């Protein structure tokens, strides 16, 4: 067997072992934290629904972005998106709220729209903001 092939096989074996260790670690972490994560998600949905009773959809987006500014870890971002989804589901939408919102299946248009929307909200070049805007796209594609 040529030396280069041995090197390639060793690199592949090490890569597969690392993937296995990372997967096992992620499984263990989620398993250890599933109850806490469910509680966080339920609380975020409840807060979003409650916020919607006194605010419109645009204010829901602003509140989601404010929360994102305070905390933006991976779990925090999921929490904020759940808040925004619940808020948008219950909140009154201004007439132009969904104007120009592309479907998520249109990847280039979606990315451009999210970047423009975040720029208009004072969050230029903010990937966290762009990910949060997915909740707006989902809300605008459902009746509400």
The reported pLDDT for the residue numbered 95 is 87
- For residue 75 the two structure tokens come to 């779990």
- Look up the pTM and report it: 0.81
- Model confidence at 55: pLDDT above 90: yes
| 67 inside domain | yes
| 109 inside domain | yes
- For residue 71 the two structure tokens come to 């905390």
| 106 inside domain | yes
Coil/strand/helix, residue 92: strand
What percentage of residues in the chain have a pLDDT greater than 90? 83
Mean pLDDT to the nearest integer, 53-82: 95
Split into its structural domains, the chain has a count of: 1
State the first-to-last Cα distance of the chain, in angstroms, to the nearest integer. 64
- Model confidence at 142: pLDDT above 80: no
The reported pLDDT for the residue numbered 2 is 86
Q: pLDDT tens-digit profile of 98-127?
A: 999 999 889 999 999 999 999 999 999 899
Contacts of 40 (CB under 8 A, 6+ apart): 75, 79
Q: ∠ CA 68-73-78 to the nearest 5 degrees?
A: 70
| 21 inside domain | no
Distance of CA 14 to the CA centre of its chain: 32
The whole domain housing 66 covers 37-140
| 10 inside domain | no
The reported pLDDT for the residue numbered 144 is 53
- Model confidence at 34: pLDDT above 80: yes
């Amino acid at each position: 067997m040529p030396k280069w092939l041995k090197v390639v096989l060793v690199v592949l074996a090490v890569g597969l072992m690392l993937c296995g260790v990372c997967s096992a670690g992620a499984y263990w972490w989620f398993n250890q934290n599933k109850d806490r994560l469910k509680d966080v998600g339920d609380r975020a949905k409840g807060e979003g629904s409650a916020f919607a009773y006194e605010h419109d959809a645009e204010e829901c987006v602003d509140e989601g972005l404010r929360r994102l500014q305070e905390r933006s870890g991976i779990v925090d971002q999921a929490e904020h998106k759940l808040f925004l989804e619940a808020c948008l589901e219950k909140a009154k939408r201004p007439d132009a709220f969904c104007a120009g919102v592309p479907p998520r299946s249109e990847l280039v248009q979606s990315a451009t729209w999210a970047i423009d929307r975040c720029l208009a909200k004072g969050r230029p070049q903010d990937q966290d903001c762009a990910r949060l805007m997915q909740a707006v796209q989902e809300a605008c594609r459902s009746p509400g």
